[in-house]
Amino acid sequence: RARADCNSPLKEPSLLAVNAQGAVFKVESFGPEVFSERPPWPEAHFGTGLRITSEQKPTLQKEGKLIFPRPADAPDGAFFYVVRRVTGPNGRVDFETVDHAFPNAEGKIETASPPWSGWGDSADSWNIATQTQAIGFGVGAIVNMMLMWTWESQLPGIPLPGALLGTAYEIRYVPDKPEPEYVPVEGAMISAVDESGAVFWENGSTPGVFARSQKDGRFALWDWRYTGGTVRVNGHMPDGRAVTVTAFEANPLDSKTFFTQLIQKYRNVANANITFPPLQVPVSPEVEIRVMRLTNDLQRVDINGITTTNTTLVIGFKFKSGASGEVTSASVNGEEFQVKRDDQSLGKTPLMDFIIANPYSATAAGKYSIKATIVNPLQSGPAVVAESTFLVVAEGGSNGVSLQGVAPDWITKKLVPKPNEFGVPLNVLPQVVFTEPVVNVLNGVQFTKSANGGTQDAPFILSGVGLDANGFPYA
């Protein structure tokens, strides 16, 4: 415990202690003359200060209790707050909310912690990188704590500022789990957002108030402006990821939350959980879907998007160069099929990474849509679905016949360029081949191009298999 037993400018140390790590702490109290800056709480009074000096700049393995003398001018029913004075970018001064405090059996004012973080390290400053918005906390040999107090005659023992409470999480993807985990985040900077949407360090030199999330992700923040309803709360990770969420007024009737006891002590409490996006989303690899005719000598011949009924087909999946992954399921026109690694039991070449386990044969003419679900090699992250459409026609047929009961689609194999293809030369002639004749194409096609950070319409000329009497493409 760190104890201050005097209430004046810096005095001789009232406590000299050594913790289990061998860190030596010198504790001194100080009065209002030492620092002129105060938290931006209009009705708060300075009680006393506590200066903790340790050349080892330790991080405590267990939260340290702070004990202050009761301020002589604090009336019965006063509420006590503990904040840490920290220096910020460009010499600004801000305050970290550390704890609430209550009279103990000796009449001193002692920190009570949960849900507050309490005193646990030697942080004395913070900074933010202009480009990356990464933040960092510096540690120093001297930590300055301030005991502040307020008093409300109509509500003795109740704090005037609002309390913003919640938990900070980070989305993380782990091997062998396709769904993400929500992991509590330690060390995120939490602050209230003002009416303009700005965080405190964007408002000039006015001192700001913030909290840091604890090991279990919980945070607690005093906000003088909060008087009920909703409030916007910003979370900022050390690596620069930032999220702003809406905190809602806590329900005193909700006995399932730890807010119930706090609402009995606090006047205004809001709750918000902050979820940071993943630092990196595992990318599922791209795969090419191949539909191949199986010959009598067990060779695989690509159907090039069109085949006839009752043809024995091998449906394979080939990852693009340098990629790997798992095809976990596949379907044709909604019918699910078992997938296996290509063991060349259904033809020899070209070799695929995965194939539908048994030969496929379409007995009716029409369009056929293949869908495959793919995950990355670690089986983590969001799955992606690859799709491909091919056409089955009667013997001697073509895509010149309308299909009944289904909308036209393009034949994936005949698309130029391929879907999601990058680096396509400008002189490539785009080509779309449909599963059946398509009319009024001119009125339903639009091309866009990137320009000046956005998109705009691109002029084009459309050609088809023939011209009508007016000279327009009719296919």
Same domain, 54 and 174: yes
User: What gap in Å lies between CA 60 and CA 21, rounded to an integer?
Assistant: 9
Looking at the predicted structure, is the pLDDT value of residue 425 above 80?
no
Note whether residue 174 is domain-resident: yes
Question: Cα(first)–Cα(last) distance of the chain, in Å?
Answer: 85
Could you report the per-residue pLDDT of 279-324, keeping only the tens digit for each?
876 666 688 999 999 998 889 999 999 999 999 999 999 998 777 7
293 found inside a domain:
yes
Average pLDDT over the chain reads 84
Residue 261 pLDDT class (50, 70, 90 cuts) = low
State whether 302 and 369 are in the same domain: yes
Whether residue 470 is predicted with pLDDT greater than 70 in this model: the reply is: no
Q: Is 77 part of any domain?
A: yes
Domain-located, residue 463: no
Q: Mean pLDDT lowest for which of 55-59, 185-189, 418-422?
A: 418-422
Structural domain contains residue 321: yes
In a shared domain, residues 255 and 337: no
**Do 226 and 118 lie in a common domain?**
yes
Residue 227, domain extent: 2-276
**Whole-angstrom distance, CA of residue 232 vs CA of residue 223:** 11
Domain boundary among 276, 298, 327: 276
Whether residue 255 has pLDDT greater than 80 = no
Give a yes or no: residue 383 inside a domain. yes
Q: pLDDT tens-digit profile of 390-414?
A: 999 888 777 677 777 777 887 888 7
Q: Per residue in 6-18, pLDDT tens?
A: 444 444 444 445 4
Could you tell me if 384 and 345 are in contact, meaning their C-beta atoms sit under 8 angstroms apart? no
For 15-29, 100-114, 124-138, 383-397, which range has the lowest pLDDT when averaged over its residues? Answer: 15-29
| Domains of the chain: total | 2
Between 372 and 160, where is the model more confident? Answer: 372
Considering the domain architecture, whether residues 188 and 326 belong to the same structural domain is answered as: no
474 lies in some domain: no
Query: Any idea which residue has 């209430």 for tokens?
Result: 7
| 298 in the same domain as 376 | yes
Residues 122 and 183 in one domain: yes
In a domain, 390, yes or no: yes
pLDDT at position 452:
62
Q: Are residues 340 and 261 in the same domain?
A: no
Please, which residues bridge with residue 248 across strands?
230, 271
Asked if residue 187 and residue 46 are part of one domain, the reply reads: yes
Q: Same domain for 256 and 292? A: no
Q: Among 276, 307, 324, which residue terminates a domain?
A: 276
Band of residue 450 on the pLDDT scale cut at 50, 70, 90: low
Q: What pLDDT, on the 0 to 100 scale, is given for residue 12?
A: 43
Q: Please, which pLDDT band fits residue 443 given cuts at 50, 70 and 90?
A: low
Q: Are residues 86 and 147 in the same domain?
A: yes
What's the chain look like in SS3? CEECCCCCCCCCCCEEEECCCCCEEEEEEECCCCCCCCCCCCCCEEEEEEEEECCCCCCCCCCECEEECCCCCCCCCCEEEEEEEEECHHHCEEEEEEEEEEECCCCCEEECCCCCCCECCCEEEEEECCCCCCEEEEECCEEEEEEEEECCCCCCCCCCCEEEEEEEEEEECCCCCCCCEEEECCCCEEEECCCCCCCHHHCCCCCCEEEECCCCCEEEEEECCCCCCEEEEEEECCCCCEEEEEEEECCCCCCCCCHHHHHHHCCCEEECCEEECCCCCCCCCCEEEEEEEECCCCCEEECCCEEECCCCEEEEEEECCCCCCEEEEEEECCEEECEEECCCCCCCCCCCCEEECCCECCCCCEEEEEEEEEECCCCCCCCEEEEEEEEEECCCCCCCCCCCCCCCCECHHHCECCCCCCCCCCCCCCECCECCCCCCHHHHCCCEEEECCEEEECCCCCCCCCECCCCCECC
Residues 85 and 154 in one domain: yes
- For 88-123, the pLDDT digits (tens) are 999 899 999 999 999 999 999 999 888 889 999 999
Domain end among 276, 309, 343:
276
pTM score of the predicted model: 0.64
